[in-house]
Amino acid sequence: MIFLDKISYLFKLRNNSVHLTPEEAAKFEITIEQLLSIWEQTATLIKILSEKEKFEEASIYDILNENILEFKKYWVR
């Protein structure tokens, strides 16, 4: 199941980071668990779209999952 609200939150975080001001910095926070959950939802959506559209490029899903695993290796204990 895909939770689009998590992917939408990722875009909100991106927009906040691009337009970051000192006033906004105090509101800018996310936990590692939230970040991983967003990335995993994004990977699931990409996998579904890739299978449906039959993309010929390298698997974005596999690349994203490799990055998730690398992140977990270094930052999650």
Q: What ranges do the domains of the chain cover?
A: 4-75
Count of CB atoms situated within 10 Å of the CB of 33: 9
32-71 per-position pLDDT tens digit: 888 898 888 888 888 888 888 887 777 888 899 999 999 9
CA separation for the pair 68, 32 (Å, rounded): 11
pLDDT at 28: 72
pLDDT of residue 48: 86
- Interatomic CA distance for residues 23 and 73, integer angstroms: 33
Q: Is the pTM of this model over 0.85?
A: no
Q: Which tens digits make up the pLDDT trace of 4-29?
A: 787 787 778 777 777 777 777 777 77
